[in-house]
Amino acid sequence: GESVGLHLPTLSVQEGDNSIINCAYSNSASDYFIWYKQESGKGPQFIIDIRSNMDKRQGQRVTVLLNKTVKHLSLQIAATQPGDSAVYFCAETPYGNNRLAFGKGNQVVVIP
Amino acid sequence: DGGITQSPKYLFRKEGQNVTLSCEQNLNHDAMYWYRQDPGQGLRLIYYSQIVNDFQKGDIAEGYSVSREKKESFPLTVTSAQKNPTAFYLCASNIPGPYNEQFFGPGTRLTVL
């Protein structure tokens, strides 16, 4: 598979535990944020998004938290499963248009 | 099924040769994007297009060229001027707008020998 996970911060989590992945974003003007999941050898998949007028949004087994004061975004995964092993990227919209800026990613490794 | 296709999945070329990567979408999206991904780095934008027959440079356009003659297609040419072309290339598309996520294709791994 692709070596996108090399040299990335890695979170090792026991199967069934909760995972928290953090992301610091750069631009206080960004008003839309997305979390993507990328499995080895594949393109990124959309997980969840949040607009700047919210501080929390929940999906199926995932929750995104946004703290605009400290420009911090986090993704919580409940009851982590082996299929959650992947690289997770946050993305923001610092340009006020359709362009996204991506973080470097975090590798999550689920231990069975 | 709607989606984005990229071909081929793996591509090998000799140094000094131009190579074109294919990206096709049937999602009826107006906007399309090309990103480059290297190990340990986030996605970097090469080119993007908001509408047919129009495109803009991204952050790392040098050594690349694109065309957008059809809504469904946004091919990327990696030219011999690109000094370090070996990478994983990702194509994405979306409906233009401030709160619309981008959908990604499966990627093409280009290796220049």
Instruction: Give tens-digit pLDDT for B62-106.
Output: 999 999 999 999 999 999 999 999 999 999 999 987 788 999 999
Q: Is the dihedral of CA A83, A85, A86, A89 positive or negative?
A: positive
Query: What residue in A sits closest to B31 (Cα-Cα)?
Result: A98
B30 touches chain A (CB under 8 A): no
| Closest Cβ opposite residue A6 in set B39, B101, B105 | B39
- The more confident residue out of B37 and A29 is B37
Q: What does the pLDDT read at residue B58?
A: 95
pLDDT digits (tens, 9 = 90+) for A84-107: 999 999 999 876 667 899 998 999
Buried b (16+ CB within 10 A) or exposed e, B58-85: beebeebbbebeebbebbbebeeebeeb
Question: Is the predicted pLDDT of residue A1 greater than 50, yes or no?
Answer: no
pLDDT digits (tens, 9 = 90+) for B27-48: 999 999 999 999 878 899 999 9
Nearest to B68 by CA among B97, B98, B93, B101: B93
CA distance B54 to chain A (A): 15
CA distance B33 to chain A (A): 9
Choose, out of A4, A25, A47, A54, the residue to mutate when testing the contact with B (most B CBs < 10 Å).
A4
